[in-house]
């Protein structure tokens, strides 16, 4: 334990798999009590047991982030069971690929709700407790598409950009001691990316291996990121060491994006 986080409390959305699971694990390794949110009760239960085995308090709440009333109730339940929390990790699975003009307004609204509005509801519920604690960290797991739209991810590009605007605005309003920052993962070795690879391969009548080869060829590190590498930055941003970082968006992409 090296980041000064021992004894703090965190909420991790999408905490039972992929990047969210890696962040929950990494925070638990630092002695942080963790509440994980997700839709799959079985995965949540399994992850909670694994986190408890690390010697920290861990709880889980099953919730669909597209249901804002249920999201608010989940936040209230966490506050009752854990008390005020210091850290909020906003993290949710990306939408289906496809061109933007093919997306229905219902799809656009559902994804906007799942990402932007759910994050807003959670922040509204947890920031007052952070103020009472005198310590708060909101960390959003977004995408490099905040800076450079990604081909064939029209809905995701749109909603991720909205998350960037939401968090930058919030960074100007939060009181001292409570920060908000974005992590922008590049191609990361998760089930979500595997599904995206397979979908693109099917749609383009090519092999999944060729899709993967094209991705890694565009990355100077010539590989996918591992979820633990995203989690390492999340732990730092959650720590006292990152107290003067506020309203930033940091890419963890192996150098793939072209912008500075």
Range of the structural domain that residue 27 is part of? 9-187+226-252
Residue 155: its pLDDT value, please? 97
> To the nearest whole percent, how much of the chain has pLDDT over 70?
99
- Flag whether 67 is in a domain: yes
Higher-pLDDT residue of 254 and 2 is 254
DSSP assigned state of 142:
-
Helix (H) or strand (E) holding 38, with range, is strand 33-38
- Flag whether 208 is in a domain: no
Residue 260: its pLDDT value, please? 86
Residue 192: its pLDDT value, please? 87
Strands (E), the chain: 9-13, 33-38, 58-62, 87-90, 136-141, 178-185, 249-252
Residue 67: its pLDDT value, please? 98
Residue 196: its pLDDT value, please? 86
Q: Are 16 and 44 in contact (CB under 8 A)?
A: yes
Backbone conformation region of residue 31, classed left if phi is above 0, alpha if psi is from -120 to 50, else beta: left
pLDDT tens digits for range 109-154:
999 999 999 999 999 999 999 999 999 999 999 999 999 999 889 9
- Flag whether 96 is in a domain: yes
Residue 162: its pLDDT value, please? 97
Could you tell me the pTM of the whole model?
0.96
Query: In this structure, what CATH number is given to the domain that contains residue 58?
Result: 3.40.50.720
- Flag whether 183 is in a domain: yes
- Flag whether 205 is in a domain: no
- Flag whether 196 is in a domain: no
pLDDT tens digits for range 66-118:
999 999 999 999 999 999 999 999 999 888 889 999 999 999 999 999 999 99
Residue 143: its pLDDT value, please? 96
* Helices 118-133 & 154-173 angle (0-180, nearest 10): 30
pLDDT category of residue 2 using cuts at 50, 70 and 90: low
pLDDT tens digits for range 180-210:
999 999 999 999 899 889 988 998 999 999 9
Question: Can you tell me the distance from the alpha carbon of 91 to that of 151, in angstroms, rounded to the nearest whole number?
Answer: 22
- Flag whether 212 is in a domain: no
> To the nearest whole percent, how much of the chain has pLDDT over 90?
93
Enter the tokens of residue 156.
């995701």
Q: How many domains does the chain have?
A: 1
- Flag whether 259 is in a domain: no
């Amino acid at each position: 334990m090296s980041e000064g986080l021992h004894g703090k409390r965190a909420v991790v959305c999408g905490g039972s798999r992929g990047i969210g699971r890696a962040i929950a694990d990494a925070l638990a390794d630092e002695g942080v009590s963790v509440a994980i949110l997700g839709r799959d009760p079985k995965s949540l239960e399994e992850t909670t047991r694994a986190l408890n085995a690390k010697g920290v308090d861990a709880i889980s709440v099953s919730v669909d982030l597209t249901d804002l009333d249920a999201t608010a109730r989940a936040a209230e339940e966490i506050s009752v069971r854990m008390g005020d929390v210091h850290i909020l990790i906003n993290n949710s699975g990306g939408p289906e690929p496809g061109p933007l003009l093919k997306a229905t307004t219902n799809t656009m609204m559902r994804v906007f709700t799942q990402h932007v509005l759910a994050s807003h509801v959670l922040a509204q519920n947890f920031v007052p407790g952070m103020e009472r604690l005198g310590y708060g960290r909101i960390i959003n797991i977004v995408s490099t598409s905040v800076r450079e739209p990604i081909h064939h991810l029209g809905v995701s590009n749109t909603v991720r950009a909205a998350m960037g605007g939401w968090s930058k605005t919030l960074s100007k309003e939060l009181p001292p001691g409570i920060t908000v920052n974005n992590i922008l993962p590049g191609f990361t070795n998760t089930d979500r990316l595997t599904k995206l690879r397979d979908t693109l391969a099917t749609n383009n009548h090519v092999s999944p291996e060729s899709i993967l080869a094209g991705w890694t060829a565009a990355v100077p590190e010539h590989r996918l990121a591992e979820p633990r590498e995203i989690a390492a930055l999340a732990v730092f941003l959650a720590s006292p060491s990152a107290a003067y970082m506020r309203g930033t968006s940091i890419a963890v992409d192996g150098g793939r994006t072209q912008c500075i």
